[in-house]
Chain A
Amino acid sequence: MLKIQNLTKKYGDKIAVDDLSLEIHSGEIYGFIGHNGAGKTTTIKCCCGLIEFDSGEIYVDGISIKEDPLECKRRLSYLPDNPDLYGFMTGIKYLNFVADIYSMGVEEREYQIHKLSDMFGITEDLAQPINSYSHGMKQKLALISAFMHKPKLVLLDEPFVGLDPMAAHRMKEEMRNACKEGAAVFFSTHVLEVAEKLCDKIAIIRDGRLVLSGTTEEVRGAASLEDVFLSLEEDND
């Protein structure tokens, strides 16, 4: 579903992502781990066509993001680490706006919006302007907008930040549901325990380079993911 081939992205002289290759298949939850500034956000932004990259290729469902970004974007949804939304809109207007962009039918949008907003417990708040939402509520609204149009690929940058335990649990459920229906989920996180329990596969990135990837079992081996991550960091030091 997502194929990253030799991706390189520079900001001036600084190489943010260096020759990174990854492949994520339908039905997989793929965790992306790395220290602050390792290149996780840059990689995800390149995958959703938010920023251009210097070399390499990214394919979404076999379509090049460089060649046909709109077709790729129709198949994916993206959630940034700090989702700033249109504060002047009410929650329901925002969700309808996103539904219009993805050409969702009336019945489909009604069902998905109500199902997901019930699930995240924000249905009653949908008539409120987003400006009045807490950080967690904005995160929940952004998650609903990311999942409601049934994307084939879900790209999430630090999706657990700001979520209460119940909402985090619901989100994990929704990620698994999406994968059962054939989607792929690629997300970055610092919460290693979550990655360890939730992900089918994990990639560890350091200074823009992929240092380890594979199934969760392969990556952690006999140790915990935290041990693996810390030992990699110590090796680097």
Chain B
Amino acid sequence: MIKTIFDLVKIKITGGVTSMISFMRGREAKTTGFSFGTALILSIVIIAFLFMMVFSFGLAMVVGFQMAMNNCLWLYYPLAFVVSTVFAFVGTVFAAQSYLFESEDNELLLSMPIKPSAVLVSRILSLYVLNFVYSTIILLPVGIAHRFLFRFKGLSVTNDIGIVFTYVLTLLIVPSLATALSCILGYVIGKISKKIPNKGILTVIFGFTTIAILAVLGLNLGPIISALINYIDAIAISVEKYLPLLYIYGVAADAGTALWGIIPITVLSLGLPVLVYQYLSINFLRLITKKTAPKKKKYKKEQMKKTNVQISLIKKEIGYFFSIPAYVMNAGMSTIMAVFLGVGILMRGAEMNEWLPKMFPDAASSLMPLAVGSSLALCCTLNDVTAPSISLEGKTIWLLKSTPINPMKIFWGKAILAPVVSLPGVLFTSITSALMLEMKVVDVLFIMIIPVLACLFSGFLGVCINLRIPRFDWSTEITVIKQSLSVIITLLVSMFFTAVPFVLAIIPAAYLEDFSTVTSYGLCIIYFALLIGLEIFYLNTDGKKIWDTL
């Protein structure tokens, strides 16, 4: 049984990693060797990991230093424990539901002579591995920082073995607790989603709420850290008084003495997953085999409508977009960012009206629309909705290819989706800018038109790039949406090309006295129109030929 569990965990983990690498390698995935795609993606992943670790290290040093100064370094590990548990939990909560209950091989495994309990244990352990990766991003730099802080405190490392022991134990128990929590929430989400007709809505709402909370925390990180440092004594007293479990753990982890203090938190962290396992194992078979049929809606014959092919294709793309929560969350980030920008302008618009003229007395009126327009356009480039759209045709591509549709109509249908998705954010921010930033009509028009053009540019770019590196061998849409090389390339290239005209316009606007904003608006519009024209030309020539070979 242990070997079976080990094999199942290995299959799950290696399958996930192989699929990720394979998709990021683009079209050459069937070949072996180290492709450009692999190199690019591995570089991005490594840089992202390093960035997060360096960031964690910096935070740990700043907060830990204050703790050491206030003689409460024992609070260091409890805080790291909580933060890393939350980080891992948030990172894996969506995976929990799919790992536990929606794995495609569930029925296959159950038809084999494998105990359902072995399948469940393997799923929980796979989730544990994922949580381990997430929590290590925080805990590894935290451990390194602790060594520096310990020496700063002027203490000799007499209980080195004790410290290392508790640290290693922390590395192991944090993912265990996070796994239990994500299993519980995954189970609850699954239960609720079965009761509502469109479970995708729940995922999107939950996803965006999480992102919004993280964004608010991220934007207020400075004040939060300041408060943490300023009130460190009060926090330490409260933890000591009300959370003794964390206190005794903190003392043991910090000094490497009184090691009995780590027993309660270890029991909790290891015991909770066992309880979760016990509960899930009772219902596991029912949970993974029960199919809740949606309430059947009977078709009533009614008058149909004839629609233009182009409109029909656009409607099809919109329908597909809203049917996949991960797609909405990925591409919808641009709208969320644009709305954040709009909210920021609503809240701080008055300050900006005072602050900018002080910094640039002669250029404030020119700079404001350029700054808002460029920020909004850059938000729009986060909209990668078209970058996986050719790949997403997958096994249904025969439908478009065997019917009399000009491929350009298909490309337009996909590209238009980008401005459609971003439009709510653009409109909202344009209106808040008009209300709060004392802009002229021409300025407001500019900050409405430019982001739409930037969207259309990135929309067509996504189609062009995805045509070059499509992948039709996916098993779930999420793989294509989140891991395609075309998505990453589209994001990077569209950001670069969108930033260029603004950098070129903002610098002279800030320093040239007789700078004409209307001219810069015109040049920006011409710039994007030219880029879009080039993309359309490419699609109309090479793009059509590539489409025929797909």
| Chain A residues packing against B (C-beta within 8 Å) | 48-50, 52, 69-71, 73-74, 76-78, 80, 82, 84-89, 91-93, 96-106, 109-110, 113-114, 123-128, 132
Contacts and interface: CB of A to CB of B under 8 A. Distances in A.
A41 B155 CA distance: 77
Given A89-B319, A100-B308, A128-B296, 6 more contacts: A73-B404, A78-B402, A84-B394, A88-B320, A92-B299, A132-B293
Contacts of B402: 48-50, 73, 76-78
B312 interface: yes
B454 to A, nearest CB: 28
* Most B Cβ at <10 Å: residue of A88, A100, A101, A104: A100
Nearest to A114: B301
A74 B549 CA distance: 20
Contact of A124 (B298, B303, B304, B309): B298
Contact of A85 (B296, B319, B399, B405): B399
B409 to A, nearest CB: 10
B403 interface: yes
A109 B312 CA distance: 15
Nearest to A82: B395
Given A50-B401, A106-B305, A110-B303, A86 B298 contact: no
Interface residues of B, number: 35
B548 interface: yes
B475 interface: no
B398 interface: yes
Contacts of B315: 97
Contacts of B301: 110, 114, 123
B4 interface: no
Interface in B488-532: none
A185 B301 CA distance: 30
Interface in B290-332: 293-294, 296-301, 303-309, 312, 315-316, 319-320, 323-324
B163 to A, nearest CB: 54
The 4 closest A-B pairs by CB, nearest first: A88-B323, A126-B299, A84-B395, A127-B299
Contacts of B309: 100-101, 103
Nearest to A70: B404
Contacts of A87: 323
Nearest to A85: B396
A113 B304 CA distance: 10
Contacts of B549: 52
A132 B399 contact: no
A50 B396 CA distance: 12
A126 B323 CA distance: 18
Contacts of A92: 299
B226 interface: no
A100 B401 CA distance: 15
A88 B300 CA distance: 19
